[in-house]
Structure 1
Amino acid sequence: MYNTDLPTRAELPTSRQLLRSTAIAVVAAAGILVTVVLPSEYAIDPTGVGKVLGLTEMGEIKAQLAAEAEADRRASEALVPATPGSTGPRSSLMGTVMAQFLIGSAAAQTPPVAARSDETAVVLRPNQGLEVKLRMRKDARATYSWTSTGPVNFDLHGEPPNPPRNFSHSYKSGRSTSADNGDVVAAFDGTHGWFWRNRSAQDVTVTLRTSGPYEAITRP
């Protein structure tokens, strides 16, 4: 059996070549970080390349959604009443069983959400982003259609009442769109809705029509 000959010392890369390859790899990684990762994830675009490629817009949307999710989480925590006489979390088996029993009983007594229909209009100034949300229970289905007087970028997404940091469940998104329609089925209890951003130089009006068993509709 013939085995491949081992390379000679002359054929091995020198230390200078290894350092050069390492330097090239570091420069390439830094370039990707600055031109792709930072704009798309954090809306930081020191070179301007991210804006040209549309990556900065992605980062802005993510940052906007993360900020709104954090604000919703804090608002939800502020609305949770303290239990009189409680001094901290209880971990006993009986306490867990009782908690599950109470949750199940409350869910069974919760009346169904009646269907409703709404028409909502929002005006977006140049480069402005706004959001409209439906408060829905898990598996609820809402029908929607929206039109705008100019092209907008949009993201249809949902968030539970106390989402993890930077959590957002995306159903659908698009760029430079003037209309969309369909159904949104809630993946969980929480708020589900649309984030629009106007990238044009003129005001744009978005008109949203919704119908279905949702508890409330919120807007700026």
Structure 2
Amino acid sequence: MTLMTKIIAAAVGGGALLVVAILPAEYGIDPTGLGDKLGLTAMAQNIDEPAPFEGVLAFNIGEYDPTAERIDMSVQGLIHQEDAPFYSEVIEIEIEDYGEIEHKFIMPADTTFVYSWEVLNAVGDGVYYDFHGHPSTDDAADYPDGFEMAYARGEGTAQHGSFTAPFPGYHGFYFMNIEEGPITVRLTVSGYWEEHKEMYRAVKGEVLTNVDF
């Protein structure tokens, strides 16, 4: 078979496939009637039409100046500019047998950090953890009485993620040791905060540290 014969045969085969299978299955067009007999036209009827995009793109950008040395506004939610480099710290938290601790970061609204914590010497279930936040005492009047927002809780030996403060205040981690014996939780965090500190510590229910906020 010559090359030209092969090309012609491929073209004829492709055209037949288009008429017999693709047109009935994709578009419901069935000039030969074989598509209906093979059940291909039913496939076209079951294809959902994509919903038209009805959203409105909202921008908070000013008039674009390609010569500007600094652009102070950008697409909402994609970038949040800061005046200083981000912090990066590794915090090792010792937790006694039957111990519990709370370590918080004081953060303005819309600031972000990425974090990773792990129980270094876990042999069992690790810790019970509760990642949550609440406003400062000065701001508490702007929120419902006793307002607190939970972000994550459970039991485990590690967790990794990113966090953006939904409101200004104290955001951080509560750990309860559910191992047998003392443990160390290593918290690695990078991002933005004003300060961080141990807020609460207790052993066997006896409070050792309790910082007002």
| Bucket of the pairwise TM-score, normalised by the shorter protein | 0.3 to 0.5
Whose strand fraction is larger, Structure 1's or Structure 2's? Answer: 2
The structure whose residues are more often helix, as a share, is: 1
